[in-house]
Chains A and B, each alone.
Chain A
Amino acid sequence: MFHIYCPYCEELREEEEFHPKGQAHIARPEEPDACSDEEWGDYLFFRDNPRGIHHEMWLHAVGCRKFFNITRNTVSYEILETYKMGEQPTVGAEHLAREGKTDSVQVAESGQQTVGASDAAQASVKGAQA
């Protein structure tokens, strides 16, 4: 059972109040009309799936009903931080690498590196996310 700190309610609440909503920080392409099928496919379907540090979006469904973000280890299930929408994480895979906590943790790049996507397409998507 997770005990999750909602950054809006500013309280620790039980997991059952929340719904996980997948990877965080996915920005809609800035020029949708100019996107190729490949870029749309990447945006819609391709997600980071790291064995380690993952930034994900959650909904405080039966609390304040607001979305917020969590940085969580998908192997140990440790929640490293929660932060409001629009904010950037302060803890990442690099942070853990510095502290020597990377045993059996795969360092994943945030953003969407995908099969067949051109480097330029990836750069534009990543740029939009920053």
Chain B
Amino acid sequence: MQRYSGFGLVKHALRHHEDWQRQWRNPTPKPGYDVIIVGGGGHGLATAYYLAKEHGITNVAVLEKGWLGGGNTARNTTIVRSNYLWDESAALYEHAMKHWEGLSQELNYNVMFSQRGVLNLGHTLQDMRDIQRRVNANRLNGIDGEVLDAEGVQSLVPIMDCSKRARYPVMGASWQPRAGVARHDAVAWGYARAADALGVDLLQNTEVTGFKIRDGQIQGVHTNRGDIEAKTVGCVTAGNSSVLAGMAGLNLPLESHPLQALVSEPLKPVLDTVVMSNHVHGYISQSDKGDLVIGAGIDGYNGYGQRGSYPTVEHTLQAIVEMFPIFSRVRMNRQWGGIVDTCPDACPILSKTKVKGLYFNCGWGTGGFKATPGSGHVFAASLAKGEMHPIAAPFSIDRFHSGALIDEHGAAGVAH
């Protein structure tokens, strides 16, 4: 792998940028691998990378039906934070946060991680009590966080309407300074390039059409490019996990919903942090390019159409204009939807299944992007050892029969 550096940039500039190395190979599938990862998004690519780097398992294939990072990785609002309430979630997202902080250096790829901080606003007394509880829980778990009053919020975000005139006045917020945003595409490309350099085969346009299972043990997968064998298969296919599980005769406690986001025309720098509100329900940040990145909740009904409904757009923009009257005449450039698989307790599933050697990593709902490095890291460890990593273990599918749910609704700071 040709390393990227300032010196390299100058060298290539002198050669008119004509001989940059391709970022990854485009190999033909081998008959078999040690491990197959189904799904070439951020989580799948990160899993492959950590399998090769931390566990020395380089005979790995990542199967992607479209192109790398073309699913939800390319369809989110790029927010990264770890201010979750329950110990299990806090451990998982903080594990990811620690990886984010060194990720650009580790991958030799600028993922544009920017620790500009995240505000979760409170608009009612109950909101403020919940915020205090969550920040206290975070600090007990060693995660940074503060409770701000309305004046504190106003001084951080001067353009926000923190007056008492608002229909839902801002009473305060939780503030995680280490949180922020990262460039979503660069995360997928950085992991892809680094995994490829370690020998992982990234197979694009390769769609899994079924599983080969014998005596309760996974033997491999059927694809549109022929059968590929492996004794360990990890499925990381976000919105389509139920469809894939169905091919193996499994059912998952998931419902797939469209989640949409919008991007405005580019503006001069006006917002230097991330603002989220669960109560009026919208979240917003400004990208390095200048456009406002806006998101909100899922459509209420199940759906696999990657577009989302108009009432949700209207509801989202009402919330944004309520908080930021200054944006009332900003034009929206683009709107898009991704398919998220939501769990009954708003927490992901990282689990073995009753098919030996077949693992699922799914159910991230609206919050998977922030977990990308941590999810990949613990899932790789689980696949390598055949036992779920201690951080992943509480997220086993067994919890829906044992009752040990991790009830992160509301506590996650944004609704599902």
Contact = CB atoms under 8 A, between A and B. Distances in A.
Interface of A: 1-2, 15-16, 19-20, 22, 37-38, 40-42, 44-51, 54, 56, 72, 74-77, 106, 108, 112-116
A1 B311 contact: yes
B402 interface: yes
Nearest to A113: B251
B344 interface: yes
A116 B401 contact: yes
Contacts of A76: 305
Contacts of A114: 251
A129 B400 CA distance: 21
B302 A77 contact: no
- Identify whether the interface residues of B are mostly helix, strand, loop, or mixed: loop
Given A112-B251, A115-B252, A46 B400 contact: yes
A45 B162 CA distance: 40
A115 B243 contact: no
Contact of A49 (B302, B309, B353, B402): B302
Contact of A51 (B243, B252, B254): B243
Nearest to A49: B242
Nearest to B344: A45
Nearest to A106: B243
8 contacts: A1-B311, A2-B309, A37-B402, A41-B400, A74-B305, A76-B305, A106-B246, A115-B354
B303 interface: yes
Given A20-B302, A56-B302, 17 more contacts: A15-B309, A20-B301, A37-B401, A46-B252, A47-B254, A49-B252, A49-B254, A49-B302, A74-B302, A75-B304, A76-B305, A77-B303, A77-B305, A115-B250, A115-B251, A115-B252, A116-B401
Nearest to A122: B251
Nearest to A108: B246
Interface in B272-329: 300-305, 309-311
Contact of B303 (A1, A44, A74, A112): A74
A15 B303 contact: no
Interface residues of B, number: 29
A49 B300 contact: no
B27 interface: no
Residue with the highest number of chain B CB atoms closer than 10 Å, among A22, A54, A77, A113: A77
Contacts of A15: 309, 311
B397 interface: yes
B251 A46 contact: yes
Contacts of A20: 300-302
A38 B242 CA distance: 19
Contacts of B311: 1, 15-16
A40 B405 CA distance: 14
A51 B401 contact: no
A46 B253 contact: yes
A19 B246 CA distance: 28
A74 B397 CA distance: 25
B31 interface: no
Interface string B390-403: 00000001001111
Given A49-B252, A115-B252, A54 B401 contact: no
A45 B250 CA distance: 14
A41 B399 CA distance: 9
Identify which of B242, B251, B341 gathers the most chain A CB atoms within 10 Å of its CB.
Answer: B251
B229 interface: no
Contacts of A38: 401
B252 to A, nearest CB: 7
A126 to B, nearest CB: 13
Interface in B228-260: 240, 242-243, 246, 250-256
Contacts of A46: 251-253, 400
Contacts of A2: 309
A15 B309 CA distance: 10
B304 A74 contact: yes
Contacts of A56: 301-302
A114 B250 CA distance: 6
A49 B401 contact: no
Nearest to A16: B311
Contacts of B302: 20, 49, 54, 56, 74
Contact of A115 (B256, B309, B353, B402): B353
A60 to B, nearest CB: 14
A51 B344 contact: no
